[in-house]
Amino acid sequence: EPEVTQTPSHQVTQMGQEVILRCVPISNHLYFYWYRQILGQKVEFLVSFYNNEISEKSEIFDDQFSVERPDGSNFTLKIRSTKLEDSAMYFCASSEGTAYNEQFFGPGTRLTVL
Amino acid sequence: AQSVTQLGSHVSVSEGALVLLRCNYSSSVPPYLFWYVQYPNQGLQLLLKYTSAATLVKGINGFEAEFKKSETSFHLTKPSAHMSDAAEYFCAVTGRSSASKIIFGSGTRLSIRP
């Protein structure tokens, strides 16, 4: 069964460093998303992406964040200068864009900023 | 605007007892509603979804949920709890456009007593 994959599973970085989180969405999906979950809190929407453009972004998704689909398979989230409060689990999701918009989630990348 | 409220951050039931996890939604448009489960240190798994076909929705692992428009509720139930049901459960809502973000509730941690 097709699934969304994410790498790495765990990333540790120093404050101020750039990180890139990678996702491979399901191959025939057209819509891509990033969500994050700070430890012990709810899952929050960051950004949605379609046709090589950002469709919507939350107020969390400030200038330090960017997304890219560099080739036909990968979907990346870049944080330019990490802060302590960026420590969280980051989930990638993709969907076909069908009427009920079922999104399939990856296993997540745990980002720890020291 | 859309939102979901989960009543009770922690629910504890005995093995074999009824599980009831409460969720109320707010939406200015007919919503799509979901329940996701998250096991410790894992990603999000879709339990079931409401897409307006039937108000009583059956999901995996014996869970079901009933959409009640008059009560703006989408409570999750399971007749008989199993130890393996111990996890975090998230109610979520999304709109009907193709790129709609998913808005998650704050989650309910389900514990099962032997």
pLDDT tens per residue across span A31-65 = 999 999 998 888 999 999 998 999 999 999 999 99
Task: Report the phi/psi class of residue A40: left, alpha or beta, with left for phi > 0 and alpha for psi in -120 to 50.
Answer: left
The C-alpha atoms of residue A7 and residue B94 are separated, in whole angstroms, by 27
Q: Which positions ≥6 away from A28 have C-beta within 8 Å?
A: A96
Contacts of B101 in chain A (CB under 8 A): 33, 45, 48, 56, 58
Asked whether the CA dihedral B58, A105, A52, A37 is positive or negative, the reply is positive
- Per-residue pLDDT of B19-45, as tens digits, reads 999 999 998 777 889 999 998 878 888
CB contact under 8 A, A42 and B42: no
Question: If you search the block for the tokens 């879709």, which residue do you land on?
Answer: B46
The C-alpha atoms of residue B67 and residue B75 are separated, in whole angstroms, by 8
CB contact under 8 A, A35 and B102: yes
Amino acid found at A69: R
End-to-end CA distance of chain B: give it in Å, rounded.
41
The C-alpha atoms of residue B45 and residue B31 are separated, in whole angstroms, by 20
The C-alpha atoms of residue A33 and residue A105 are separated, in whole angstroms, by 9
The C-alpha atoms of residue B87 and residue B80 are separated, in whole angstroms, by 15
Query: Which residue in the set A45, A93, A97 is minimally distant from B98, CB to CB?
Result: A97
What is the distance in angstroms between the Cα of B43 and the nearest Cα belonging to chain A?
4
The C-alpha atoms of residue A106 and residue B107 are separated, in whole angstroms, by 19
Contacts of B100 in chain A (CB under 8 A): 101
Q: Which positions ≥6 away from B67 have C-beta within 8 Å?
A: B33, B50, B55, B56, B57, B73, B74
The C-alpha atoms of residue B38 and residue B90 are separated, in whole angstroms, by 8
- Per-residue pLDDT of A87-113, as tens digits, reads 999 999 999 876 566 888 999 999 999
Whether A8 shows a pLDDT value over 70: the answer reads yes
Q: Grade residue B2 by pLDDT with cuts at 50, 70 and 90.
A: confident
The C-alpha atoms of residue A53 and residue A56 are separated, in whole angstroms, by 9
Q: Grade residue A71 by pLDDT with cuts at 50, 70 and 90.
A: confident
What is the distance in angstroms between the Cα of A44 and the nearest Cα belonging to chain B?
7
User: Which chain B residue has its CA at the smallest distance from A57's CA?
Assistant: B101
CB proximity A22 to B under 8 Å: no
End-to-end CA distance of chain A: give it in Å, rounded.
37
